[in-house]
Amino acid sequence: METLREIFSSDLSEYWNEAKEINDRIKRTLGPSFPYALSERKRFILYSVVRYYNPEVVIETGVGPGVSSTIILSALNKGTLYSIDVRDTLENGKPVGFLVPNELRSKWKLYIGKSKDVLPNILREIKKIDIFLHDSEHTFENVMFELNMAWNYLKSGGIIFIDNMDFTEAPYKFVKEKNVKLYRLSDEAGGFGMILKK
């Protein structure tokens, strides 16, 4: 399992410290509900890399209560986050992304629908992306679809994150086809992977 310092040849610890405060706020609001939400170590990794990379365009699939959305939006400086979720209301009756603070919503665009229906339209509109996070339906077909779609629009030097990377063989098949490396950043809850586009 690689560390961020090894991958980026840079010390991201200052961002890790910033992420702690944001994570504490999320935990207070979320409580014990939504155990499937992005785990704590993954939150720190995601925040640190987004802060370090300073992207203009980020896309995520799978929003739920809005843990990853809040993390990404908190780390964004100048950019916009495009989020896709298949539903608009969660099992507790609250809206998708309810965790996202009002002060961050001006740089957030939320789309409701299946990624296979919504993602191609977004990509055609924005043309290039810096960072993509897959965290929606973890079937082989859906993961392959999202990774291939994102790859086609990913800038050189761009990043793909894959949550629950071990739920299907798709990430491993994808990197083999593209002849790129799949970095394992966390073993928590199905693993958290990252692909860099040279």
* 131-140: pLDDT as tens digits: 999 999 999 9
pLDDT at 125: 96
Q: Are 64 and 90 in contact (CB under 8 A)?
A: yes
CA 99 from centre of chain: 15
Task: State the pLDDT at residue 189.
Answer: 81
Q: What is the pLDDT of residue 19?
A: 95
Can you tell me the mean pLDDT for 118-140? Answer: 97
Architecture of domain 4-196 in CATH?
3-Layer(aba) Sandwich (3.40)
pTM of the model as a whole:
0.96
Q: Which pLDDT band, with edges at 50, 70 and 90, does 71 fall under?
A: very high
Q: Residues 9-43: pLDDT tens digits?
A: 888 989 999 999 999 999 999 888 888 889 999 99
